[in-house]
């Protein structure tokens, strides 16, 4: 059996999704039946990898009654995992669809206060699950009190054992990790713009920005998500703009995690950068066709991957 792709989620979430006729203030709003799903960037990527026929191992921190609920939801999906206990309660995420205006409201809480030694416990658990050549996905925010260099320390430890780190985060945690260097950095246009202090509205500026990250050693591959337009990928071998297939959008939640999970699975299978990027784009497009916080499905991803390959002439 091949080594699993290891994911790490310092700040997981139990996602609660529902629908209302219309969002109005000062009213009791009658909701549809709630849907509960395990969440957080790394956990979502693990679920995507499993759905697409790969094998994952999720490392995450959890605590309290909501942490127990998270475990129950992961049990339901048979996710292979290592849990690190924390004293605080795992956070909730609230997602509400306004049917009348076709709008989506997403509430994200900061997560529990944790002890600083959680960082070492998480990183040790990740490294224990690795062997040379294994891919690791580090994704999502950090809970309060976890040091800002968490992903940087993780990047160094992963590199020391000869594994490959895929980083999908933003904010103050991103730059320190890129200063160490990672195998892949995946973000959207706005997040890369915030990192580099540029708008990145023009295609040539986007490619230049990603090339600067690759040439500086910050990442071997840089991938910029562009929503419905697809993704731009840059490596030392070239640059590829992979357009996304047209789909009917139901919910945009989960598209980025689906993209990152599928992209990493493609790379772990030995695919080249444009094909792995196309697989990620297809998974992201598949995710937006599912309601609420649901991720991509294998059947839709495979169908859209064939379209993406054909429409971008990547055969």
In whole angstroms, give the CA distance from residue 151 to residue 167. Answer: 8
pLDDT at 266 over 90: yes
What token pair was written down for 85? Answer: 């206990």
Which domain does 146 fall in, by range?
5-10+41-91+113-311
pLDDT of residue 251: 85
Whole-angstrom CA distances from 189 to 137, 210, 283 are 20, 10, 18
Asked if residue 23 belongs to a domain, the reply is no
Of the pLDDT bands very low, low, confident and very high (cuts 50, 70, 90), residue 30 is very high
Asked if residue 102 belongs to a domain, the reply is no
Q: Which residues pair with 239 in a beta bridge?
A: 234
Domain CATH number, residue 83? 3.40.1190.20
In whole angstroms, give the CA distance from residue 124 to residue 30. Answer: 45
What token pair was written down for 99? Answer: 């049917």
- The answer to whether the pTM exceeds 0.85 is yes
pLDDT at 1 over 60: no
3-state helix, strand, coil in the chain (%, to 5): 40, 25, 35
What token pair was written down for 138? Answer: 């580090």
In terms of phi and psi (left: phi > 0; alpha: psi -120 to 50; beta: otherwise), the region of 40 is left
What token pair was written down for 206? Answer: 């986007």
- pLDDT tens digits, one per residue of 129-156: 998 899 999 998 898 888 999 999 999 9
Asked if residue 106 belongs to a domain, the reply is no
In whole angstroms, give the CA distance from residue 5 to residue 81. Answer: 11
Q: Which residues pair with 219 in a beta bridge?
A: 182
Instruction: Provide the H-helix boundaries in the chain.
Output: 41-51, 64-76, 118-128, 150-160, 174-180, 189-196, 203-216, 255-268, 273-287, 298-311
pLDDT of residue 49: 98
Closest to 7 measured CA to CA, from 53, 52, 55? 55
Residue 189: CB atoms within 10 Å? 19
| Active-site annotation, residues | 257
Count of domains in the chain? Answer: 1
Asked if residue 28 belongs to a domain, the reply is no
């Amino acid at each position: 059996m091949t080594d699993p792709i290891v994911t790490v989620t310092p700040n997981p979430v139990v996602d609660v999704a529902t629908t209302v006729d219309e969002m109005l203030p000062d009213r009791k709003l009658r909701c549809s039946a709630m849907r509960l799903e395990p969440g957080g960037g790394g956990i979502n990527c693990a679920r995507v990898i499993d759905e697409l026929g790969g094998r994952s191992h999720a490392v995450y921190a959890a605590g309290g009654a909501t942490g127990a609920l998270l475990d129950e939801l992961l049990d339901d999906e048979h996710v292979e995992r290592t849990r690190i206990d924390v004293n605080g309660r795992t956070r909730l995420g609230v997602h509400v669809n306004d049917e009348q205006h076709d709008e989506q409201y997403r509430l994200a809480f900061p997560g529990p206060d944790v002890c600083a030694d959680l960082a070492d416990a998480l990183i040790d658990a990740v490294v224990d699950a690795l062997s040379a050549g294994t891919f690791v996905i580090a994704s999502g925010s950090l809970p309060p009190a976890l040091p800002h260099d968490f992903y940087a320390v993780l990047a160094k430890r992963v590199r020391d054992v000869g594994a490959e780190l895929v980083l999908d985060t933003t904010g103050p945690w991103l730059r320190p990790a890129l200063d160490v260097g990672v195998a892949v950095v995946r973000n959207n246009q706005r997040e890369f713009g915030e990192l580099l202090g540029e708008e990145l509205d023009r295609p040539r500026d986007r490619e230049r920005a990603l090339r600067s990250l690759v040439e500086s050693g910050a990442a071997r591959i840089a991938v910029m998500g562009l929503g419905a337009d697809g993704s731009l990928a840059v490596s030392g071998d070239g640059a590829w703009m992979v357009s996304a297939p047209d789909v009917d959008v139901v919910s945009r939640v989960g598209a980025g995690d689906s993209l990152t999970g599928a992209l990493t699975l493609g790379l772990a299978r030995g695919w080249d950068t444009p094909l792995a990027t196309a697989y990620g784009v297809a998974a992201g497009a598949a995710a937006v066709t599912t309601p609420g916080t649901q991720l991509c499905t294998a059947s839709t991803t495979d169908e859209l991957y064939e379209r993406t390959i054909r429409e971008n002439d990547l055969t």
